[in-house]
Chains A and B, each alone.
Chain A
């Protein structure tokens, strides 16, 4: 069944209108790679040239910011939900 990656409204156009995408992978980083392989345009929107996340992109695993976990190396398992959101909200 894999991992569900939820997309924010700002990225849905680049994913053919999808609100979420099912991917495989053992870590958050691998799940994102799975996302990029399906929707190539998303890579440059989300990631820097070196593969790390852009500075205004937040990624959450089951509601927890992955920077409090192991970042892109955070392990994921079947049925987990990874959420991508813009970081510039609030205050």
Chain B
């Protein structure tokens, strides 16, 4: 299924497969378009199954010219059946797509893998990004593995864990005094003036975004080549959310699986919920907000793909909900206590939204649900501070027995 062009999602104008992200006619976003292959689906399936246990097993659906590989293998993360969480929420069949298992512990390794591979094909010598943290980690690590210099621009008040885990790879970190949307504006300006730089989520954005489709591909394959009934996933810019659906659609179109796109439920933090607010208001105009939430990895007040995320949720019979910071903390604990998976705040948003949907009775007992847990709890460790107690004792058996009486004596 070779990529044939970049196409404007608004006015359908096409462009060559270069480093460009915006339609010059209408400013709409560009997306990679493919020529649907006419081959035998069974042969395609065998080719995928014989591929590496990384996202490159789906190279047929990714926009690269040459054989795809990366120095830091990414993807093929576990799809964990979460029976205890399902029971707690009164659900039937529930899975967690555990993206903490990626090399830098978030789904951003997927999008960076594709953007970097395409950047090298196009001859770029430097990798860069505007980041809320997870992307900074991934850009720094993948650039280091590929031997490219990296510049990551972040809001100045990011979680320290994410900053430290980025600096360790040798990337140049630029802390911008402002929020993510300020960083993004600055990077959009800088990218226009630095022709040799591949900003993964700006001039390389059409390629970058394609990486998120592999979340859907893996989910289908890990479910034994079947579709889930419902996806619950986080929304920041809305890119991942819309590309997951696109991934399911491409597998359906290629004849690899039959059915329709799952019901798509989006999750936002109340303190940064421009997409959920627009959804609730029945519009697709996302009025920008100034974020104020512990879910900093989702703190995009001016979401580029917001209108498309809303359209998708409506078309599939889903919704876009928002949850409070306290609900996010509770979501992190609920997931950890029932599955052993410790997620960062974005995963807390997703699980809290899943719990909200379950409580509202929106999810049928017969549904097969997949929740996207997109990043690791060690990156936002402060979110669980003070949510449990540590018992301190002297190093004596008596003191231990005093606190923890022997059972059955």
A residues near B, CB below 8 A? 8-11, 13, 45-46, 54-58, 60, 63, 65, 67-68, 83, 85-91
Q: Is the CB of A45 within 8 A of B22?
A: no
B28 is contacted by which of A8, A56, A68 (Cβ under 8 Å)?
A: A56
Q: Is the CB of B302 within 8 A of A87?
A: yes
Given contacts A56-B27, A56-B28, A63-B185, contact A88 B201 (CB under 8 A): no
10 CB < 8 A contacts A-B: A45-B26, A46-B27, A54-B27, A56-B22, A56-B304, A60-B185, A85-B188, A91-B237, A91-B239, A91-B240
* Binary contact track B269-310/A, C-beta < 8 Å → 1, others 0: 000000000000000010110100000000010111101000
Q: Tell me which residues across on chain B come within 8 A of A8, comparing CB atoms.
A: 188-189, 192
**Interface presence of B217 (CB below 8 A):** no
Interface of chain A, main secondary structure: mixed
**Interface presence of B182 (CB below 8 A):** yes
Given contacts A45-B25, A58-B185, A60-B185, contact A89 B304 (CB under 8 A): yes
B182 is contacted by which of A10, A46, A63, A88 (Cβ under 8 Å)?
A: A63
- Docked complex Cα distance between A86 and B316 (Å): 29
Q: Is the CB of B29 within 8 A of A56?
A: yes
A90 is contacted by which of B10, B184, B189, B288 (Cβ under 8 Å)?
A: B184
* Binary contact track B204-228/A, C-beta < 8 Å → 1, others 0: 0100010000000000000000000
CB of B343, distance to nearest CB on chain A (Å): 19
Closest B residue, CB atoms, query A64? B182
Q: Tell me which residues across on chain B come within 8 A of A83, comparing CB atoms.
A: 185, 189
The CB with the most chain A CB atoms within 10 A, among B130, B189, B287, is that of B189
Closest A residue, CB atoms, query B184? A90
Given contacts A8-B192, A68-B288, contact A58 B22 (CB under 8 A): no
Closest B residue, CB atoms, query A14? B24
- Docked complex Cα distance between A85 and B187 (Å): 11
Q: Is the CB of B27 within 8 A of A87?
A: yes
CB of A64, distance to nearest CB on chain B (Å): 9
Q: Is the CB of A56 within 8 A of B10?
A: yes
Q: Is the CB of B187 within 8 A of A89?
A: yes
Q: Is the CB of B201 within 8 A of A91?
A: yes
CB of A72, distance to nearest CB on chain B (Å): 15
**Interface presence of B197 (CB below 8 A):** no
- Other A-B pairs beyond A10-B24, A89-B21, 14, CB < 8 Å: A8-B188, A45-B26, A63-B178, A63-B185, A65-B302, A85-B188, A85-B189, A88-B205, A88-B304, A89-B191, A89-B202, A90-B300, A91-B237, A91-B305
* Binary contact track B46-67/A, C-beta < 8 Å → 1, others 0: 0000000000000000000000
Q: Is the CB of B238 within 8 A of A57?
A: no
Given contacts A65-B288, A91-B201, A91-B239, contact A58 B189 (CB under 8 A): no
- Docked complex Cα distance between A10 and B24 (Å): 6
Q: Tell me which residues across on chain B come within 8 A of A55, comparing CB atoms.
A: 285, 307
**Interface presence of B236 (CB below 8 A):** yes
Q: Tell me which residues across on chain A come within 8 A of B180, comparing CB atoms.
A: 90
